[in-house]
Amino acid sequence: MANRGEIAVRVLRACRDMGLASVAVYSECDRGALHVRMADEACFLGPAPAADSYLRIDRLVEAARLTGADGLHPGYGFLAEHPGLAAACRDAGITFIGPTPEAIARMGSKTAARTLARDAGVPVVPGSDDVLGPDVTDDAALEAAAQVGYPLMLKAVAGGGGKGMRVVSGPEALAGALHVARSEALAAFGDASVYLERRLLRPRHIEVQLLADHHGTVVPFVERECSIQRRHQKVVEESPSPVVSPTLRARLQAAAVAVARAGGYTNAGTIEFLVDEHAGGEAFYFLEMNTRLQVEHPITELVTGTDLVQWQIRIARGERLTIDPARVARGEGHAIECRVYAEDPDAGFVPSPGVVDPFVVPAGPGVRHDAGIEPGGEVPIFYDALIAKLAVWGASRDEAIRRTSRALEEYRVGGVRTTIPFFRWLMVQPAFREGAFDTSFLDELLQQRVGTPFSAPEASLEEVAAIAAALYGAQAMPLRTHETAGPRAPLGAAGRARWKATGRMDGLRA
């Protein structure tokens, strides 16, 4: 398992489910991480910065060789869409659990993928096929942009996950946006090249998961709605989309299969589309293909009863897909995912690294929780701040939303700030409940409420907080253990603090 965090834990669970021995990898700061202990063996990669550890192809392949691993799962992020890792595995005789390096390279270039989709008869977003490499001048970029027309999107050629992406409203903003997009693209993907795409007015982001085996079978799954985005990053996903009709679903799935076949694609992948509800006739455009497992795969698993990771491993072994295509193309019920980040929603979502304690997570009917950390675990500054994914299933969309709200109330998280209060707020927004949103919806809504805290609870809870504070002041109640005893302290220390507090209480008799 060549990754860390929640996705490493997810894949290691699939290995256990299948009775497969597994190997984790870790960097200096992940020594004590959950994923390391979920594997049968673990290999140290190097210092904490990803460039020295999780992005080292040579060390990952060496770790596989050393332990006799015959397969390597890349997870998502890091090297998952880097053809070099897939190629290095092949050269070393290790099965890469994903598509071939050729397919990754083909679909990984966003401009080449556009051409491929167009040739396969799938509509693409109007734009320029010219790549703006790092040496292209601002003047040349301005010229290319004038042909595409404003507003437009700058996107990383090697992109994915919203990184290296900027909206440009007019020519005056192009040079600045170009600089930022290139530096973000370089940092995230090691390639500063960007390209231009027309910006559609209020599109929805809808994607089709698929599995493809080595025997020519391609199975598309019921779509995921991913329009709830903050600065082009998905924050809430659901399946199915509240607006996709059976006809549109069939068309999206056929287009997804056509692109996958044209790309010679195998294993799990996702075709992303923009759907323009306002164009009439349910217009859609191919956006890009993600040649990996997606962060949001659990909601597809919930509505289709499929274990996508197990299928990735089985396909990589050469097995045939035996899933009933009709069942997974439709799914059952409704699922919603919230990506819980260690970020402070009341301070513009700045990262909030630190030791997470306590960390009590929701459970119960319809709730699936995928976390990469545990109580007392640390969110390091070196990587993505995603700490958990809450995925909830309900028989209807309404039930799924109510269950998500219920589950969010069950969290008890301290030590770091999280996006949980933001999700609690989002779940009761009328437009969200009605399913009336597009990719600009969340950014616009957030803009309107800048400065208003998400965590504002009702007055009765504030009174309870005042009582709790007074009880604390009267030393009837100690601080949370991680404040008094420090993280990972033996239980005895907290116990002693409690005894001391009880002792002091004796002086309080009226």
Partner 1 sequence: MTFTVTAGGRVHEVRVTRVHEGLDVEVDGRRLHADLTRSGAGHALLLSAVAGESGGGVRSFRSFDVAVEHEVSPDALVVHVGSHRIPVQLSGRRRFGSLAGSHHRTADGDGAQVITAPMPGRVVKVLVRDGEVVEERQGLVVVEAMKMENELRAPRAGRVTGLRVAAGSSVDTGAVLLVVE
Q: Which of 166, 204, 249, 292 is catalytic?
A: 292
Please name the residue that has the structure tokens 């897939």.
86
Binding residue (CB under 8 A) for partner 1 from 140, 436, 466, 493: 466
> Hey, what are 51's tokens?
């460039």
Rounded to the nearest whole angstrom, what is the least distance from the CB of residue 474 to partner 1 in the complex? 4
Q: Does residue 56 carry a catalytic annotation?
A: no
505 is a contact residue toward partner 1 (CB under 8 A): yes
Burial of 322 (0-12, 13-18, 19+ CB in 10 A): exposed
Q: What is the DSSP string of 190-248?
A: S---EEEEEPPSS-EEEEEEEEE-TTS-EEE---EEEEEEETTEEEEEEES-TT--HHH
Alpha helical stretches, state H, 263-363? 297-304, 308-316, 325-330
443 is a contact residue toward partner 1 (CB under 8 A): no
How many CB atoms within 10 Å of residue 140? 12
Q: Are 56 and 45 within 8 A, CB to CB?
A: yes
Binding residue (CB under 8 A) for partner 1 from 326, 434, 450, 459: 459
Cα–Cα distance between 264 and 134 in angstroms, integer? 30
How many CB atoms within 10 Å of residue 287? 24
Binding residue (CB under 8 A) for partner 1 from 327, 330, 433, 480: 480
Cα–Cα distance between 482 and 359 in angstroms, integer? 11
Element (H, E) at 377: strand 377-379
Rounded to the nearest whole angstrom, what is the least distance from the CB of residue 343 to partner 1 in the complex? 9
347 is a contact residue toward partner 1 (CB under 8 A): yes
Rg (CA), the chain: 24
Question: Which stretch, 144-152, 181-189, 328-336, 485-493, contacts partner 1 (CB under 8 A)?
Answer: 181-189
Peptide bond into 240 cis (omega under 30): yes
Question: Which stretch, 23-31, 148-156, 271-279, 419-427, contacts partner 1 (CB under 8 A)?
Answer: 419-427
Question: Which stretch, 25-33, 134-142, 195-203, 453-461, contacts partner 1 (CB under 8 A)?
Answer: 453-461
508 is a contact residue toward partner 1 (CB under 8 A): yes
> Hey, what are 255's tokens?
């287009």
Binding residue (CB under 8 A) for partner 1 from 395, 465, 489, 493: 465
How many CB atoms within 10 Å of residue 467? 10
Q: Is 318 helix (H, G, I), strand (E, B) or coil?
A: coil
Strand partners, 334: 394
For residue 51, what is the DSSP state?
G
> What string of H, E and C letters represents the secondary structure of 296-309?
CHHHHHHHHCCCHH
468 is a contact residue toward partner 1 (CB under 8 A): yes
Contacts of partner 1 in 139-168 (CB under 8 A): 163
Rounded to the nearest whole angstrom, what is the least distance from the CB of residue 270 to partner 1 in the complex? 21
Rounded to the nearest whole angstrom, what is the least distance from the CB of residue 7 to partner 1 in the complex? 15
Rounded to the nearest whole angstrom, what is the least distance from the CB of residue 216 to partner 1 in the complex? 38
Site pattern 182..201 for partner 1 (x: CB under 8 A): -xx--xx-------------
Q: Is 48 helix (H, G, I), strand (E, B) or coil?
A: coil
499 is a contact residue toward partner 1 (CB under 8 A): no
Question: Which stretch, 60-68, 129-137, 331-339, 460-468, contacts partner 1 (CB under 8 A)?
Answer: 460-468
Binding residue (CB under 8 A) for partner 1 from 96, 284, 285, 382: 382
Rounded to the nearest whole angstrom, what is the least distance from the CB of residue 34 to partner 1 in the complex? 18
Cα–Cα distance between 291 and 265 in angstroms, integer? 8
In the complex with partner 1, the residue whose CB is nearer, 102 or 463, is: 463
> Hey, what are 361's tokens?
């997570």
Q: Are 365 and 413 within 8 A, CB to CB?
A: no
Site pattern 215..254 for partner 1 (x: CB under 8 A): ----------------------------------------
Rounded to the nearest whole angstrom, what is the least distance from the CB of residue 389 to partner 1 in the complex? 17
Rounded to the nearest whole angstrom, what is the least distance from the CB of residue 331 to partner 1 in the complex? 30
Site pattern 89..128 for partner 1 (x: CB under 8 A): ----------------------------------------
493 is a contact residue toward partner 1 (CB under 8 A): no
In the complex with partner 1, the residue whose CB is nearer, 136 or 501, is: 501
How many CB atoms within 10 Å of residue 86? 27
Which residues would be at the binding site for partner 1 (CB under 8 A)? 163, 180, 183-184, 187-188, 347-348, 350-353, 358, 360, 381-385, 408-414, 417, 420-421, 424, 455-457, 459, 461-474, 476-480, 483, 498, 505-506, 508-510
Residues with a catalytic annotation lie at 292
